[in-house]
Amino acid sequence: MTSGVISNDESSTTSHPYRIALIADPQLVDENTYVRRGILLKLSQFYTDLYMKRNWRYMHKILQPRMTIFLGDLMDGGREWDDRVYNPITERY
């Protein structure tokens, strides 16, 4: 009977667990997230980024995944602009 669960062959001395982190809809704050602008938007982005970075480091420290897969969209406001605007935002991470 096949179970659909992938496991390591315990009789093999070369098998190692392969950890994959799945992250769904991180919702990074962008200019389309809130109607606020200026310093309020920058503060929202700063504290959201700080929170996500802290969780990213914690996840990698504890789980030590060999691969990370992002599911869904990255940005809270969707992708409303071209690569010239999109790339600098995603490069912050």
pLDDT of residue 77: 63
What pLDDT, in 10s, does the model give residues 24-75?
877 777 776 777 788 988 888 888 889 888 988 998 998 889 998 888 777 6
pLDDT of residue 54: 92
Domain spans of the chain, in order of start: 29-91
Q: Left if phi > 0, otherwise alpha if psi is -120 to 50, otherwise beta: which for 17?
A: beta
Residue 4 has pLDDT above 50, yes or no: no
pLDDT of residue 81: 64
Q: Select from 68, 67, 69, 33 the least CA-distant residue to 48.
A: 33
